[in-house]
Structures are given as structure tokens and as C-alpha cells.
Amino acid sequence: MIVPGAKLAGIDKPDMVPARDGYGKALVELGNENTEIVVLTGDLSESTRVQWFQEKFPDRFIEVGVAEQNMMGLAAGLALSGKIPFVSSYAVFCPGRAWDQIRVSVCYNRANVKIAGAHAGISVGPDGATHQALEDVASMRCLPNLTVVVPADWIEARKATKAIAVIDGPCYIRFGREKVPTITTDKTPFTIGKAEIYRDGDDVAVVACGVMVYEALVAAEKLSKEGIDVMVVNNHTVKPIDKNTLVSVAKRCGAMVTAEEHQINGGMGSAVMEVVAEKYPVPMERIGMRDSFGESGKPSELLAKYGMTSKEIMQACRNVLRRKFEVAQECGPLICPQPVSMTQDRAAQLLSTVPSNVTFKLKNGEKIASLQDLHRALLTMDKATFSTHVNTDKNDFAQWVQDVHKDAELADVLRRHASKTSLARALGVRIGQLYQKRGS
């Protein structure tokens, strides 16, 4: 499903709100709806926003103190007694220090415990490496019976918290400390286990989670000015992962980039790569922390230093596009026609200039008399002209190639792609094939 623009808040001057606020608000709502909801924390009620629940439901709030392993055992007991406990701490402490209890007491027993890992990622900032959880998704998604969710903003965090409350089984939800751009609305679709396409595109897909969804949208908008059409996918549920959507995206775009505020090894990007490698391999790159601990600093400075911004996403998109083109030139399965099987004379004929009565006239007045002309025009064509000739109802270029050049295979390829870049690339490969055939 592609999210309509009206169902996203947009990326221009977004409201900045910590995702943890959504968690805190949702807990209060859940407390009003279900008396079985209980909340536990390890001396971090204000930081994790559970003080709001504490103020309204003090008899269902448990302050355990700095004893995360004990807190997890207590939560497992409450869950097995019929309660729905939400355990709230920093991600470096929980799951970090309580992983054994999560594995044995919670996941092995399928105990209905909800674990919130706050202050995750490098954007914790001044607290430094010891408090910057960059491994939690990897350590949690490998555990059986556990759902793992990484919301993009406070609104999605609120939805995710309410959604995991009704799942019968252990869940982990992760969010950071800093204020992050609000990009979703109350109408934005959200379903556990379902990735959402926030921006359509044909050339390359960026699959992101958490705050990196915003960075991906920014990167996509900037790359559109370079003629690169980027799809953006919010993969908020790392486990169970949405295999069907990811495979469909890989088939359509033929190149992918993953982006997360987490180690690239074992995190969301690795989960996506596992799916794609098994089902439909395409060129891929990962944006995230590269086998390093963080350090103390301003969140924005740290994200920039360690390569987790729109700038790095843009470069990764260019990189995979280049590799996608190289693969297409070698074997032609992604966006380009198969190598031509025709005579030298036929190849020469397709490369020649067409009679003046069948030249193609662009909206901007330019005349196209050959495949080479069309290729050159596509590389520099303005957006308005392109949109006139290629839209949901038609593809004038494909029709001209079929009617005048009688190259039905190329015409079919052109119809399947709706961006200047992908059309120009497919056309360029065909022209290269024709020149090679003509010279053989």
C-alpha cells in the first residue's frame, strides 16, 4: 500500500517531538481502557515518560529501582499471572543488562511482557557510548516468540504501543531521546508486521525505520532534483518482517538501501537483506553504525560524523544505482531489454533516423528522430515535459518506439518504468546492444 501524501505530515519544517512522548501518552490511554495494564521502571520514570501513568494509576505502577534483571523477572511473573506489564528503561539496560531474563523468563515462556527500550541510538548524544544502544535490535530480533518494533515518530510510537498491548506475547519497542520530526498523522496507516510505502519511486528503494525514515524522505526529495526516482519504505516492524512488501519493492526498483540508527550488523538492514537475498537478490547498501561505539557529542553532530543522515543515504542510492546499471548491462534482468537477436541490417535500421513525417514532437517543441535523440532528450528533459508524455494513462515514448521502430520488446520495457532515469537507462542499454550487434 502506498500512503497518500495527505496522510503524511510532510518534511518541510516538521513539528519536533520526542518519540518517547507517544509511548507515555499511549500508556495513559491503555490504563484507562484496561485495568490489567501495569507499568514497571528502573528509576527512570521521567526519562521514559511513564511518570504520566504513575500520576494517574499509582496502584498499577511499580518502581523497581536500579535492578533491571529483577524487574524483568517480576514482569514475567506478572504476565504469567494474567497482567500485561510494560517494562520501561534505557535500551542499554533493558534489554542490555536483562537479556538472559528476557530470553528465559519472558520469551521461552511466551510471557505477555512489553519491553520499551528508550534512549536508543547514537542520538542520545552527550551521555556517550555507554548509554548509546546500537545493538539492541540485533540482540532482540534473534529471540523466538518476540515482536520488534521501531516507530518513526511520536505518533507512530503511540500507535505501536497500543498495538503491542493487544498482541498475546512478548514485544520490544524502541525509541530515542531527542526530539524527532513528526512525519506521520493519525490517519497514516500502521499495522504490526506491515511495511508502508511513504513515497513511490522506480529507480531505488530506501527501507528505513525510526528517525531514519525522515532522513530517507529528505534524501528522496533531493535526489528527485537529480532525476533519480526514490521509493521510501517505513519498515517499522523488524520482526515479524513484511517479506511480501520487501520482495515486491526489490522486484520493482531493482536496487535497495537500508537506513537505521543502529549497527548495520544484525539490525533492521540485515533483516531486510536476509529476505531479499533469499527471494530476489538486488544491489543493496546499508546505512547505520559501522562496527564502532559512539562518543559524547551533540546528536546532530554524531549522526553526521557516523554517517546516518540524508547525505549518506543519497550517496548510497547513487552507488546502488550504478551497480544496478552494471548488472543490467551484463545480464539485463532488472530494467533493460535482453540482448538483441536480430540481423546487423535490422540493428542498423533501428539506429537510423526516421522519416520526417514520423518524428516525435515533444511538448517543449523539440523533435525526436531516432532512439539516440530520445535518449539524449530524456537525460535533460524538464519535469513538466516528461510528465506530459509519461503518466498513469500513457507512455508516448514507448508507443512511438513500438509504432515507428517496431521494437515491441523495448516498448514493453519502457512501459514498465515511469521515471526519466530508468527510461533513459533502459533506452541506453538497448542502443548499446544495437551498436554492438551492428558492428559484429
Residues 66, 42 contacting (CB under 8 angstroms): yes
Q: Do 168 and 22 fall within a single domain?
A: yes
Residues 309 and 361 in one domain: no
pLDDT of residue 109: 97
Same domain for 294 and 348, yes or no, is: no
| CB neighbours of residue 75 within 10 Å | 32
Report the sign of the C-alpha dihedral through residues 100, 101, 107, 108, in that order: positive
Dihedral over Cα of 351, 353, 355, 356: its sign? positive
Q: Are 165 and 30 in contact (CB under 8 A)?
A: yes
pLDDT at residue 44 in the model:
95
Do 171 and 29 belong together in one domain? yes
CA 138, CA 150: separation in Å to the nearest integer? 12
186-to-20, 70, 159, 176, 385 alpha-carbon distances in Å: 17, 37, 9, 21, 36
338 lies in some domain: no
> Both 27 and 157 in a single domain?
yes
Task: Output the pTM of the full model.
Answer: 0.78
68's grid cell: 533491571
CATH code (residue 215): 3.40.50.920
| Domain stop point among 283, 303, 331 | 331
Residue 184 lies in a domain: no
314 lies in the same domain as 366 = no
- CA dist 65 and 270 (Å) reads 35
Helices 420-439 and 408-415 sit at what angle, rounded to 10 degrees?
160
Asked if 389 and 364 sit in the same domain, the reply is yes
| Cα separation, 402 vs 371, whole angstroms | 12
Residue 196 catalytic?
no
Residues of the chain with pLDDT under 70: 1, 325-340, 439-440
Q: Are residues 360 and 327 in the same domain?
A: no
Compute CA distances 49 → 6, 87, 118, 264, 369, whole Å. Answer: 30, 12, 10, 28, 66
SS (H, E, C) 316-349: HHHHHHHHHHHHHHHHCCCCCCCCCCCCHHHHHH
pLDDT of residue 331: 45
Domain that holds residue 285: 196-331
351 within 8 A of 372, measured Cβ to Cβ: yes
3-state secondary structure of 8: strand
User: 141 and 21 share a domain?
Assistant: yes
* pLDDT at residue 63, as a whole number: 97
User: Could you tell me if 209 and 259 lie in one domain?
Assistant: yes
Q: How many domains does the chain have?
A: 3
Contacts of 351 (CB under 8 A, 6+ apart): 370, 371, 372, 431, 434, 435, 438
Q: Are residues 429 and 349 in the same domain?
A: yes
CA–CA separation, 389 and 100 (whole Å): 60
Catalytic annotation, pick one of 68, 260, 285, 312: 68
User: Residue 233 falls within a domain, yes or no?
Assistant: yes
Tell me the chain's radius of gyration from C-alpha atoms: 26
Does 361 share its domain with 415?
yes
Given 282, 297, 331, which residue is the final one in a domain? 331
What's the pLDDT tens digit per position in 8-26?
Answer: 998 999 999 999 999 999 9
Cell numbers placing 249:
519493492
